[in-house]
Amino acid sequence: MVKEIKVAPMHKLIKRAGASRVSEESAIALGKALEEIGVKVAREAIDFAEHAGRKTVKARDIEIAAQKVMAR
């Protein structure tokens, strides 16, 4: 588990999505879920970059990877 996403921004995100009250554990759960999705997207994006003969991951790699991961 990478643990790059902090709890406070997840709390704010859920609040701004319209929640009356947000439990600490729900903010932790959202960070965990997004981190897992983020790793999946990043791995797909790295594959795309490598396939294109690049060592640098670019925005378009992430965008295609995110669409692919979400479409599953």
CA of residue 46 relative to chain centroid, distance: 14
Cβ-in-10-Å burial (0-12, 13-18, 19+) of 40 comes to middle
Min CB(41)–a second copy separation in Å: 6
State which residue, 17 or 51, has the beta carbon closest to a second copy: 17
Which residues contact a second copy (rule: CB under 8 A)? 2, 4-6, 9-10, 12-14, 16-23, 25-26, 28-30, 33-35, 37-39, 41-43, 45-46, 49, 55-59, 61-63, 66, 70, 72
